[in-house]
Structure formats: C-alpha cells, structure tokens
Amino acid sequence: MVLRRVTAEHLARLGLALVVVALPLGLAGAWVHAHTSQSATIVHARVSEDGGWLPGTLRARVEIPLQLQLVSDDVVHGFAIGRSGAPPVDLPPGQLVETTLTFSEPGTYTFYCTRWCGPAHWRMRGVIEVAGVQGQTASEPEPLYLSLGIDIDAPHPAAAVPALRPSASRAEALGVDLPEGNRSRQDFIRRSPAETWQSLRSDPSGAPLSDAQVWDLVARLWRSTTTAEALAEGRALYAQNCAACHGEAGAGDGVMASSVPPAGEALSVGAHLSGPADFTESSTLLGASSALLQGKILRGGMGTGMPYWGPILTEAQIWALTDYLWTFQFEE
Amino acid sequence: MRHSSWSIVVRLAILLALAGLVLAFPWPAQAGTAERTVRVEARDYAFRPWRIEANTGDRLTIELASGDFVHGLHVEGYEVSLTAEPGQPASATFTADRPGTFRIRCSVPCGPLHPFMGGRLRVGPPVTFLRTLLLGFLAVVAGGLGFGRKARIAEDGGA
Amino acid sequence: MTRIDLGRIPVVRALLVSRGPQLVLQLAALAGLSLVIVSGLLGTPVGNRNPATVLVWIAWWAALMIVAVPLFGRLWCSICPLALPGEWLQRGAIHRPRGPGRGLSLRWPPRLRGMWTQNAAFVLVALFSLPVLTQPRLTAILLAGLVLLAIAISLVFERRTFCRYLCPVGGFIGLYSQAALLELRVRDPRVCAQHKTKTCYSGSTAGYGCPWMAFPASLKTNVSCGLCLECLRTCPLDNVAINLRPIGTDLQKPTRVGLDEAFKSLLLVGSALVYVLVLLGPWSNLRTAAASVGSMPWVTYSAGFLLVTLIALPGLFHLATRLGTPNGSPPLAGWGVFRAFAPALIPLGLGAWAAFSLGLVLANASTILPAISDPLGLGWDILGTSAAAWTPLGGSLGAWPMVVLVLAGLTWTSRRVRAVAEDLGGGVRMAVPVWGFSLLLASGFLWSFVA
C-alpha cells in the first residue's frame, strides 16, 4: 500500500465532490424520501386546468389519522372537507401546510378548494375513500324536491309579481296574523312566493288587504321562518361560493359569468337561461320554491355551468343559502 | 483650455439651482378635493385601470375586484394593502395627502408573472415625468459642459 | 491619475497569489449553482418561493449589476461556477497545474471570434427571458444547459473559449466592466517586451497560461480580462499589477473599438429599454405575449424585440452620429463614427440596468431568506424564515433611486459624447444629435419608472 501525501489538490477535489455530488444527492434524496413517505401524503394543489388536486383520490381507514402535506403550485388555494364542520386551510403558493384528518365513519368524503382559482375553481375537488366497518349511521333522507316531485329543470315563471319590493317589517305594522297553512317553515319552503301570495290572497283573512300588502305578508312569512344567524351564514356562503358567477348583487353578472357556458342542448325544457341566474328577476325567482332552489343547489344544472353542491354543503347550509337568496327580492 | 475651479463651482451651482427649481416648482393649484372611488379589476396579471388618478387631498377609496384568482393590491408610499378574490371585493379608504406617482404591486402570488403585475397611483398633477425629463435635460447639459479634455484615439481598439 | 497597486501590499498579494481563498469562493459559487439547479428541478414551481429564481434573478443578478460589475469589473468571472467544471476537467486539475490537461484544445475559428457570437447568445436568451425569469424549472434547465455546454466546449476548444466567445452574461459583464474600480495591467510594458518565454500566456508550474487568451501586456481595457489572477502567479518578473483606480477609467480615453463591441453597447442599452417598457409598463398583453413562448403573440413580440434592438435603435444611433459629421474623411467614413460614439452609451446602459435591477431587488429581497429556508418546498424551515411575509423595501423613496441612477448614467454618457465629438474634431455640433439620442433613451427609462 502506497501512502500518499494529502495534497491541496486532494482537498480541492474533496471540496468539489461535496459541493457537486454530496449536496445535490443529499437534497434529491431528501426529496425522494418526502415523496415516498408512508407517514404523510403530499398533495399538490393546482388550478383545475392543470390537474387540480394531485393526487385526486386518497385512501384512509377509520380512526387512523391521515396526515396530509398540502402545497399549492400556482395560486392561492384552500382545502376543506365537504359537509364537515372543520375550518378550511388556506394554501399560499409554494408553502407546504400540514393537516391531519381522522374519520369516525367509513365512506367517500369529498375535499374541495375554498379559494377562487379561476373559472374551473368549483371543479377542483377530490375524494377520500375511508375504509372500515360500517357503524350505525342513519341513512340520508330524500331531498325535499324529490319527495315533492318538483321538476327543478322546468321553467318556473311567477304567476304574479309585486309592483313594489315586499317588506317583512312593513307587514309587521299591519298587525295581521299569518293564517293556518301559511305560518310554518314547512309551509314556506314547499311553495313558491307566487303560490304563497295566491294562497294568502284567496284566504278570507286577506280580503281587506291590498295586493302589495299581501306581498308584504309573504315577505313576513319568509323572515319569520328564518333567523338572523341563518341569513348571516347564507350571506357568507353566497359571497364565497356564488357571488363570483351570480354577482354580488345577485344579478347574474358576476366576474365569472362570461366563463360559464350557457345552458346547452342537454336541457330539454326550461333552457331559457343563458348564463348564471339573475336573482333580481322577480318573474322567475318568485315562481321558485325554496325546495326547488335547494334542489338546484344540490344537484347543479345539467348542461349549465352551475356546480352541484351536494357533497360540499350540509343540508343546513343549503337552507341558509336559500333563505339568503330571498333577500334579493324581499326586504327584511 | 483649462477652466478655473471658480468657474466650475459657478457652473455646478447654477445647475444644482436649476435642478432644485425643476423639482420644487409648484404646479398651479388644482380644483378642490373630493371623495373619490375607483374600482380596480385585477385579472390576467393586470390591474384595470393601470393608473389611478386623484387630486392631492382627495379622500380616495380603492375597491379591488378580482376576475380570476386571489389577488392583492399594495400601494407603495401609502402602504395600503387589499386582498380580493372573485365574488368578494375589498376596499380601503385613505386620504391622498402626498402628491407624486406611487407604484402599485400585486401582493398575493398569483402565478408566474406575479412579480410584474403592477399599476400606478398618481396623486396631484402629472408632473413627475416632466420633472425628471427636465432633470434629464439638465444632466445632458451638465455632462456636456465637459472640460475639453483632449484624448488621442488609439489606432486599434482594445485588447 | 492615481492608481493603487494592491499587489504591492504583502498581505493582499499573498491572498491573491494563494489559490486557497479563490478556491473557497469558487466552491461556494458552485454550491450555490448546485442548490439552484436541484431546487429548480425538484422544488416548487412558484417563482418567488424557489431559490432557483430568487437567488439567480433577484440576489445574484442585482448584486452583479449594482455592485459587482460597476465596482469590481469582471471579478465574478473568476469564480463563476458555469465555467469551472469544464475548466477543471480540461486542466485535469483543480489546484496547481499537473501536466497537460485533457481535451482537444482546438483554437476557436477566427471567423467566429469577436463579440458577434456573444451578441447572438445574449439576444437568444433575452427572447426566452420572461418564462426563464419567472419559472424555476426553466432557470435550472438554462443553467444546467450552460454548464454542459461549457464542459463540452472546454473539452474541444482551448482554455476559456466558452467564457470569451459564447457566454451570454459575459457580453454584459465584459462591456460594463470598463466602469470598474479594479483593473489588471502590467507594471512596465518594456519588461514584458524583453521577456522571452511569456509565461503569462504559455503557463508554468506555478500557474496556467491566460485562460482568456489575452496577452496581459496588451490589456488596455477590462473587457477581456477575467481577473482569474493566473498571470499574477506565473509572471517571474513580478510585472503584473492589480490596480485600484478611479471609476470608469477605461472610458476616459476613447479607444476605437470594433464594430462588434460597438454594436454590443447599443444592443445592451436597447434591450434594457425594451425590458423596462415591457415588464414595468401598462401593456399587460405585451408581457403575456413575451411569456407565452411558442405562441403567435410571442412570435410577434420577438420580432418587435429584434427589430428594435438590432435595427431600429442602432439605425437611429447611426443616423444621430452622422447628422453632425462632416462628410467623407477617414476615420469618419462608414461605421467609424458609430464605433467612436457607441462606447459613450455605456454609462447610460449601466445606469439603466442597475436601476431596473434595483427596483426588482427592493421589491423582492424579502423573498430570498424564505426561499433558502425551504429550498425544495417540502415545508422545511432551515433558517426559521420560511413563513416571513413579503415586504417590499424602499416604498417611501418611490422611484427616486432609479431616477438618480439613470440621471447619473446620462450625465456621464453626455460627458463621454462631448469628449468623443471633440476627439473627432466635430465639437458641439457633432455632439448634439447624439445627446438627443441619449436623452430619448433616458426618457424611455424615466417614463417606465415614474409615469
């Protein structure tokens, strides 16, 4: 064995090896390790046009925490599990955010993006398949519009429209009680305001009232069957999810309106809307019941750009939204 | 031809005085102040309108509406910041008491061209460019008052 | 003119002659390059969070344009990591010479000498610059490509052929290094004339022959000297000086430069103008066009870029130089006046590039530490700064620092124009159109910063 003196050249080569071999290999190794880790799953968030959530399907088991490392690759996104109470997690571009999810029931959970990321924002959804033993969960009740047999794709013109914007507080001043059959929440959500007006109009207690005053009663029915909290929640949900297309003032002129494809040939009847619905248009909205609106929100519009919110919003949230939508027609 | 150091000082003083005049010359007073609201749409790495104009002393409200992603609007100098996304505009009100032209930048990363997404807030009369242009003219004059140094031109350039 | 020979200070000389300090800096630069390439390829695609884009285009580029080149000339070239792997492979050694190196050591074809190839390389990179500037993966690919090219060139051609004739950055650095405080020159040319073996060029056991293929005794400007200090090590007669000198000395005495170097001066100031107008101006569709490489709008934008920088601005300048010129007499015929006046634009170009870089670095310096703290976008926090918010600097100063840099450059350029006009015997009448051209360019820069 020949012993060589360690020369400056050797040291220099060692330094070089550290810098161009060890350093890159170390970094690359750390990267591979992070991406093959069993303990945490890296999920990339991109605008839908570039792939959306990658991966889009995750797997978990009940009661075993699922560790996620979420990172946005382009713009601000947000992460939330549909129909859960957990607050959303914002994803600033390029910054990895960790979150841990634990599921108590098996099933298919939808996760979605909570910050607007382009026209296809609502399509940015993924699923988590949670495996495990099925517990005692009550089955989902049938949505109201189905049990009532409402065709949510059919046009719903209002048979009557108010001349003046109805006001619930003006109705309070009338000092008239709402009659039986038009008093409870169930009464309100099953009928369209136009139908409610017809019903109140033909009721004997409504005889001394003018048409406008009966409309005010309709508004009062709406307001008395909802709460300030529900309206506030509805307002927040509308701003986050609906205003971009339907407009902040509900006129169907949101910034994304031009990106929404018009109602297409897939719709057999009622394809008269050529963009997001205008909630300020009395002749159409007042002909729709809250149940119909719930159905539209749940199922989305086939052939239109209206998203389906069933996997995302809870029933309570959708009812809060429908309650809020009436503020585009009625005064509190 | 050598200039005396006295004449150099005099020339420098005149130039500096002119420069000061250009910078400080008061522009004629504008029409009175007002409450002004400007809606700025942020989309495709652009702010529309690119330039917001206001009179000095105006109470200015900037409303930021986004057309595609989460965008931010940051006004340099006034240090006003807003964040908005489609459907959720944001606004801020402040008094534009300092005249000048201020850079507006997007303050929320919104894609590759984000660093170059910007605009301007101009408070007061549109004089800043004119002033710097006049300063440029003075700069040419200052440089042109060269000291007549003669140098030979070498036959073949450089190494 | 006072020059201080730093080589006469024993401590300084020892540090410069020793290869240790230089090697440490070279390895540090290589470490930076490794980090940049790996993080560019594997890290987040978000430009302001990835060290590739942040370290290269914000930290290094601004340091280069505002500090390194105006003050220290080509000093960066002595530690530039793009050239080192190729050079060390070519030499077969990193430290002192160990015999003949590898590679074919071919001479660069005479027809391709001069700066035209560098001009072309610069223009090529400039056309793709917006996506490269904003996307880490493309930055990494560009740098990796340049390193591989440098290696290939080093194994085929002699010495630093890549640096001298092909490097797109080298064109910028070389031209503007003439403003610097540092220079390498010989102390006494007569000593060189009598020295038979010229080890500064041919090399010895102490060091390599000039890698830049320059002959130290004939260095009159900084343009071709990469400050690698080999000649300091090989000269047996201690005739090489590293001088500290007044700023811009190379520009004081106009030497007639070749058309390639003159054109480069126009090219650099013209491209600066296009950059500031496109990147800082109100025409967002121009920016989008510049970024969408391969599309029809990009083709249009590129055609416009080439038209302005290669034809319109040089053509206008040529016209301006001829307007005040008496006809015919050599050396004023043909391109003579163009070549005489073009170097006068160097201060304005440098001021404009420095101003543009200053704006970028003030706005985005706060992204540097967070990017380094989490280089691969895996949620690390090495420096504890990963979550630091974006904080633009210098807001209260507005555009005035940039204006000052442009005006300083314009003043100096104006002075150079006057000096050249007098040297050519044309006086003020000859200078006026060129002053006008300079003011026109400067107004473009000023408008993009303040309007």
The reply to whether A113 and A190 lie within a common domain is no
Interface of A with B in 110-129 (CB under 8 A): 115-119, 121
Name which of C84, C235, C91 is nearest C163 in CA terms: C84
Q: Are A179 and A202 in contact (CB under 8 A)?
A: no
Locate C122 and state its tokens: 């610069």
pLDDT given at position C387: 87
C67: pLDDT strictly greater than 70: yes
**Which residues on B lie below 8 Å from A256 (Cβ)?**
67, 86-87
The reply to whether A96 and A150 lie within a common domain is no
Pairing of strands A66-72, B35-43: unpaired
Q: Pick the last residue of a domain from A131, A166, A189.
A: A131
The alpha-carbon gap from B87 to the nearest alpha carbon of chain C, in Å, equals 23
The reply to whether A316 and A243 lie within a common domain is yes
**CB-based burial of residue A183 (10 Å sphere; 0-12 exposed, 13-18 middle, 19+ buried)?**
middle
In angstroms, the Cα distances linking C233 to C151, C193, C237 are: 25, 19, 10
Classified by CATH at the fold level, domain B35-125 comes out as Immunoglobulin-like (2.60.40)
Please measure the distance between the N-terminal and C-terminal CA atoms of chain A and give it in whole angstroms: 96
In the structure, what pLDDT confidence band is assigned to residue A161 with cuts at 50, 70 and 90? very high
The reply to whether A307 and A268 lie within a common domain is yes
Cross-chain Cβ contact B46/C256 below 8 Å:
no
**Which residues on A lie below 8 Å from C23 (Cβ)?**
12, 15
The alpha-carbon gap from C357 to the nearest alpha carbon of chain B, in Å, equals 13
The reply to whether A104 and A56 lie within a common domain is yes
Is A1 contained in some domain? no
Q: What is the pLDDT of residues C207-257, one digit of tens each?
A: 999 999 999 999 999 999 999 999 999 999 999 999 999 988 888 876 678
Residue to mutate among B69, B91, B107, B114, with most A CBs inside 10 A, is B69
What stretch of H or E contains C435? helix C427-450
Quick one: residue C419, left, alpha or beta (phi over 0 = left, psi -120 to 50 = alpha)? alpha
Q: What is the pLDDT of residues A6-54, one digit of tens each?
A: 788 999 999 999 999 999 999 999 999 999 988 899 999 999 999 999 9
pLDDT given at position C266: 96
pLDDT given at position C108: 94
**CB-based burial of residue C310 (10 Å sphere; 0-12 exposed, 13-18 middle, 19+ buried)?**
middle
Q: What is the mean pLDDT of chain B?
A: 86
Q: Provide the whole-model pTM.
A: 0.92
In the structure, what pLDDT confidence band is assigned to residue C17 with cuts at 50, 70 and 90? very high
The reply to whether A111 and A196 lie within a common domain is no
**Which residues on B lie below 8 Å from A118 (Cβ)?**
68-69
Q: Does C425 touch chain B (CB under 8 A)?
A: no
Q: Are A35 and C42 in contact (CB under 8 A)?
A: no
For the CA atoms of A211, A212, A218, A223, what is the dihedral angle to 10 degrees? Answer: -170
Name which of A125, A100, A89, A95 is nearest A40 in CA terms: A100
The reply to whether A288 and A150 lie within a common domain is yes
Locate C448 and state its tokens: 């993009």
Is A298 contained in some domain? yes
Q: At C337, give phi and psi (nearest 5°).
A: -70, -40
Interface of A with C in 65-124 (CB under 8 A): 69, 71-74, 93-98
B151: pLDDT strictly greater than 50: no
Q: Which of A76, A119, A248 sits opposite B87 (nearest CB)?
A: A248
Q: Does C404 touch chain B (CB under 8 A)?
A: no
- Neighbouring C-alpha atoms within 13 Å toward the C-beta of C92: 9
Q: Does A107 touch chain B (CB under 8 A)?
A: no
Q: What is the mean pLDDT of chain C?
A: 93
Q: Which of A94, A118, A242 sits opposite B69 (nearest CB)?
A: A118
- Averaged pLDDT, A169-198: 90
Can you give the residue range of the structural domain that contains A82? 40-131
Residue to mutate among C17, C22, C27, C233, with most A CBs inside 10 A, is C27
Cross-chain Cβ contact A93/B88 below 8 Å:
no
The reply to whether A127 and A148 lie within a common domain is no
Query: CA C137 to CA C135: how far, in whole Å?
Result: 6
- Name the 3-class secondary structure at B93: strand
In the structure, what pLDDT confidence band is assigned to residue B11 with cuts at 50, 70 and 90? confident
- Name the 3-class secondary structure at A12: helix
Specify the number of domains making up chain A: 2
The reply to whether A155 and A56 lie within a common domain is no
Cross-chain Cβ contact A76/B65 below 8 Å:
no
| Residue in chain C nearest A35 by alpha carbon | C378
In the structure, what pLDDT confidence band is assigned to residue A261 with cuts at 50, 70 and 90? low
pLDDT given at position A267: 41
Is A314 contained in some domain? yes
**CB-based burial of residue C32 (10 Å sphere; 0-12 exposed, 13-18 middle, 19+ buried)?**
middle
Quick one: residue A149, left, alpha or beta (phi over 0 = left, psi -120 to 50 = alpha)? left
Q: What is the pLDDT of residues C408-443, one digit of tens each?
A: 999 999 999 999 998 888 888 899 999 999 999 999
In the structure, what pLDDT confidence band is assigned to residue C100 with cuts at 50, 70 and 90? confident
Q: Are B68 and B86 in contact (CB under 8 A)?
A: yes
What residue type is assigned to position C28 of the chain? A
Is A171 contained in some domain? yes
Q: Which of C223, C413, C439 sits opposite B158 (nearest CB)?
A: C223
Q: Are C18 and C253 in contact (CB under 8 A)?
A: no
C96 contact partners, CB below 8 Å, separation of at least 6:
A8, A9, C19, C205, C206, C207
Cross-chain Cβ contact B44/C284 below 8 Å:
yes
Q: Which of C218, C284, C407 sits opposite B135 (nearest CB)?
A: C407
Query: Any idea where the domains of chain B sit in the sequence?
Result: 5-27+134-144, 35-125
Quick one: residue B76, left, alpha or beta (phi over 0 = left, psi -120 to 50 = alpha)? beta
Q: Does A76 touch chain B (CB under 8 A)?
A: yes
pLDDT given at position A37: 85
Pairing of strands B59-66, B35-43: parallel
The reply to whether A205 and A262 lie within a common domain is yes
C399 contact partners, CB below 8 Å, separation of at least 6:
B101, B103, C359, C449, C450
The alpha-carbon gap from A321 to the nearest alpha carbon of chain C, in Å, equals 35
Q: Mind giving me the DSSP string for C12-49?
A: HHHHHHSHHHHHHHHHHHHHHHHHHHHHHHHS-S-GGG
| Residue in chain A nearest B86 by alpha carbon | A244
Q: Which of C219, C256, C291 sits opposite B154 (nearest CB)?
A: C256
Query: CA B118 to CA B41: how far, in whole Å?
Result: 12
Number of H helices, E strands in chain C: 24, 3
The CATH number assigned to the domain holding A174 equals 1.10.760.10
Residue B125: how many CB atoms within 10 A of its CB?
A: 16
C180: pLDDT strictly greater than 80: yes
**Residue entry with tokens 């055609």:** C303
Residue A70: strand pairing partners: A43, A97
Residue to mutate among B23, B116, B155, with most C CBs inside 10 A, is B116
pLDDT given at position A266: 41
Residue A54: how many CB atoms within 10 A of its CB?
A: 13
In angstroms, the Cα distances linking C402 to B77, C68, C352, C442 are: 15, 18, 8, 12
Query: CA A67 to CA A103: how far, in whole Å?
Result: 12
- Averaged pLDDT, C109-114: 90
The reply to whether A58 and A155 lie within a common domain is no
pLDDT given at position B4: 67
In the structure, what pLDDT confidence band is assigned to residue B146 with cuts at 50, 70 and 90? low
The alpha-carbon gap from B12 to the nearest alpha carbon of chain A, in Å, equals 52
Strand ranges across the sheet with A40-45: A53-54, A40-45, A66-72, A97-101
C287: pLDDT strictly greater than 80: yes
Q: Which of C49, C225, C256 sits opposite B156 (nearest CB)?
A: C256
Q: Does A176 touch chain B (CB under 8 A)?
A: no
The alpha-carbon gap from B89 to the nearest alpha carbon of chain A, in Å, equals 9
Query: Any idea where the domains of chain C sit in the sequence?
Result: 1-106+136-253, 257-450
Q: Does B65 touch chain A (CB under 8 A)?
A: yes
In the structure, what pLDDT confidence band is assigned to residue C327 with cuts at 50, 70 and 90? low
Please measure the distance between the N-terminal and C-terminal CA atoms of chain B and give it in whole angstroms: 31
Residue to mutate among C25, C376, C381, C390, with most A CBs inside 10 A, is C376
Q: Does B11 touch chain C (CB under 8 A)?
A: no
- Name the 3-class secondary structure at A144: helix
A and C: number of Cβ contacts within 8 A: 83
- Averaged pLDDT, B118-132: 93
A138: pLDDT strictly greater than 90: no
Locate C101 and state its tokens: 């190196």
